[in-house]
């Protein structure tokens, strides 16, 4: 295509743009030419010669190009023509135009004489705007043509190359492939199991938690270190994310380690969060249903309906059938009838005994709570935070306010929940449930269950807080996808319990109550005693009435 040039530019410029063509090989690549002042740059002449058959956007206005990221993917090659006097302002416009496109390759032509100092100033500004893949050359150059780029990590280093010695892979390098020990600024929320600090066996401060594991392995994959920015805000009064958001937005930190459900009405708020790492639900932790009491089990052996059925069967077999058989002329001995009566009684006693033993060995549980209406009927209350309760829908709060027991003290909630107080149900996220579930594996039997039918927020994507134009956004996305496919994120959530045990924050202890098998007690036979007393009382009343009638007649006849 270079043969189509209708004029004779310097051979070095032809070589430069021939080198640029190497980065336009993908058919989807779009050329974005940025020249806000409309100055006469060398690319203006080459553009008219049909140097590239790729789609081109040419911008000559003194303002940023609006919504480029909404129209194209990241397959863009940007060329910018900057003037010497206004390059700071023009770089700001270029950075705004390339919103969310910090990984694109940029070639800058500066209308000035070649100067290493000036090149260093411009490329330093590019680094401040998080534009890493930048190559600079000067319009007024003297042979040979030199091009400038920089190494961002671990500190800014300017590089100058002769065009004749430059190779494509050497011009635009992957700056994030190796950060060479650069310290990423990370701000943990110090809220288990996300992150927490503790002292190791040597007395040194360490940080654990599954979010810390993620960011630690991510930094290792980039060859970077971590600089911890400890929180300075008061805990418990306002969400940690509200404070961390200001730090990431103003560039004071690179990452905010806290679990944030990315649910916002405004689309632009998504820029403050990384690619979703996992999905989290905010639901209810309910006590596992307890077995029915022994005295209640007898009602399952002989229910009222069965009593009526047996009475009807007795009447049918022993009161109606014999007269019917005698009417038909069939002789039926009384001995056979007595044997049938005894067999019927034996079958009923064996069946009742077998059913009772089965219920005693494996008693059924109380009715399962499956909805907030069931919760209201059961009398069990949800122990939760008052501040969280007012985030819920107004209609829901008005209908089910009686099902909640609210507090302003988070430690009161944590103490009851961490020590498995079954007097309450508790609000909990599916992330923290991983820890509770891992702890209950060391119990004789589970004490709580995670209810997926009593939820306040279902399957919301969660990500880390990150600067809107962070250079780590794309590599963190690829890292997250690989870790999720390997099952490591879920594994680190579960392992957070053992990390907290190692840190002395939790203990492996069985908080479940053992169900001891004990002999039947007098109070366990309460129903049978009630039936016995009722029957005895009824028969006594009937007997008294019979005596009263008899002696009344005797008394009247004696008069």
Give the DSSP letter string of 122-163.
HHHHHHHTT--SEEEEEEE--SSPEEEEEE-SSS-EEEEEEG
126-152: pLDDT as tens digits: 999 999 989 898 887 767 778 888 999
Q: How many CB atoms within 10 Å of residue 199? A: 11
Say if CB 77 and CB 31 are below 8 A apart: yes
SS3 212: helix
Look at residue 220 and tell me whether its pLDDT is greater than 70. Answer: yes
Look at residue 347 and tell me whether its pLDDT is greater than 80. Answer: no
Look at residue 259 and tell me whether its pLDDT is greater than 60. Answer: yes
| pLDDT at res. 7 | 44
65-79: pLDDT as tens digits: 888 888 877 788 888
Q: Which of the pair, 459 or 522, is modelled with greater confidence?
A: 459
Give the separation between CA 221 and CA 33, rounded to whole angstroms: 34
| pLDDT at res. 137 | 85
**Among 13, 39, 11, residue whose Cα is nearest residue 107:** 13
User: Would you place residue 49 in the very low, low, confident or very high pLDDT band (cuts 50, 70, 90)?
Assistant: low
User: Would you place residue 486 in the very low, low, confident or very high pLDDT band (cuts 50, 70, 90)?
Assistant: very high
| pLDDT at res. 223 | 93
Say if CB 121 and CB 156 are below 8 A apart: no
| pLDDT at res. 4 | 46
In the chain the first and final C-alpha atoms are separated, in Å, by: 143
Q: How far is C-alpha 34 from the chain's CA centre?
A: 41
User: Would you place residue 3 in the very low, low, confident or very high pLDDT band (cuts 50, 70, 90)?
Assistant: very low
Q: Which helix (H) or strand (E) holds 374?
A: helix 372-378
User: Would you place residue 323 in the very low, low, confident or very high pLDDT band (cuts 50, 70, 90)?
Assistant: low
User: Would you place residue 255 in the very low, low, confident or very high pLDDT band (cuts 50, 70, 90)?
Assistant: very high
| pLDDT at res. 477 | 92
| pLDDT at res. 161 | 81
Mean pLDDT of all residues in 41-69: 73
Supply φ then ψ for residue 508, to 5 degrees.
Answer: -85, 100
User: Would you place residue 6 in the very low, low, confident or very high pLDDT band (cuts 50, 70, 90)?
Assistant: very low
Say if CB 183 and CB 52 are below 8 A apart: no
- What's the mean pLDDT when you consider all of the chain? 81
């Amino acid at each position: 295509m270079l043969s189509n040039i209708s004029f004779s530019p310097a051979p070095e410029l032809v070589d430069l743009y021939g080198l640029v063509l190497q980065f336009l090989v993908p058919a989807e690549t779009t050329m974005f030419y940025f020249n806000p002042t409309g100055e006469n740059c060398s690319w203006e002449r080459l553009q008219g010669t049909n140097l590239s058959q790729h789609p081109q956007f040419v911008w000559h206005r003194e303002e940023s190009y609006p919504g480029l990221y909404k129209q194209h993917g990241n397959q863009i090659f940007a060329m910018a023509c900057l003037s010497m006097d206004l390059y700071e302002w023009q770089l700001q416009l270029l950075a705004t135009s390339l919103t969310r496109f910090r990984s694109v390759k940029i070639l800058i032509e500066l209308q000035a004489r070649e100067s290493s100092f000036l090149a260093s100033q411009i490329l330093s500004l590019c680094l401040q705007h998080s534009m890493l893949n930048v190559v600079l050359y000067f319009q007024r150059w003297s042979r040979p043509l030199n091009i400038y780029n920089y190494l961002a990590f671990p500190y800014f280093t300017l590089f100058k190359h002769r065009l004749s010695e430059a190779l494509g892979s050497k011009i635009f390098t992957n700056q994030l492939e190796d950060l060479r020990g650069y310290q990423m600024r990370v701000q943990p929320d110090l809220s288990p199991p996300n992150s927490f600090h503790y002292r190791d066996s040597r007395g040194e401060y360490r940080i654990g938690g599954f979010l810390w594991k993620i960011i630690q392995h991510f930094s290792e994959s980039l060859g970077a270190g971590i600089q911890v920015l400890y929180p300075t805000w008061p805990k418990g009064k306002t969400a940690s994310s509200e404070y961390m958001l200001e730090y990431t937005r103003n560039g004071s930190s690179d990452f905010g380690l806290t679990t944030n459900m990315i649910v916002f009405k405004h689309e632009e708020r998504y820029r403050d969060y990384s690619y979703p790492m996992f999905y989290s639900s905010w639901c209810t932790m309910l006590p596992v249903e307890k077995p029915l009491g022994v005295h209640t089990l007898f009602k399952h052996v002989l229910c009222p309906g069965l009593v009526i059925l047996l009475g009807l069967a007795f009447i049918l077999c022993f009161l109606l059938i014999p007269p019917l058989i005698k009417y038909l002329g069939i002789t039926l001995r009384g001995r056979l009838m007595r044997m049938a009566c005894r067999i019927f009684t034996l079958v009923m006693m064996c069946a009742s005994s077998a059913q009772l033993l089965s219920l005693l060995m494996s008693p059924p549980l109380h009715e399962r709570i499956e909805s907030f209406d069931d919760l209201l009927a059961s009398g069990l209350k949800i122990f939760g935070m008052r501040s969280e309760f007012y985030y819920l829908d107004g209609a829901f709060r008005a209908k089910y306010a009686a099902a909640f027991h609210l507090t302003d003290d988070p430690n009161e909630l944590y103490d009851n929940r961490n020590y498995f107080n079954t007097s309450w149900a508790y609000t909990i996220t599916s992330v923290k449930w991983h820890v509770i579930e891992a702890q209950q594996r060391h119990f004789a039997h589970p004490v709580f269950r995670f209810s997926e039918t009593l939820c306040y927020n279902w399957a919301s994507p969660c990500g880390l807080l990150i600067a809107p134009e962070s250079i780590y956004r794309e590599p963190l996305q690829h890292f997250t996808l690989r870790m999720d496919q390997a099952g490591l994120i879920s594994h680190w959530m579960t392992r957070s319990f053992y990390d907290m045990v190692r840190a002395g924050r939790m203990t492996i202890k069985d908080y479940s109550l053992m169900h001891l098998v004990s002999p039947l007690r007098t109070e366990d036979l309460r129903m049978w005693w009630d039936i016995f007393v009722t029957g005895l009382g009824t028969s006594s009343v009937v007997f008294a009435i019979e005596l009263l009638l008899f002696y009344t007649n005797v008394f009247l006849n004696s008069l």
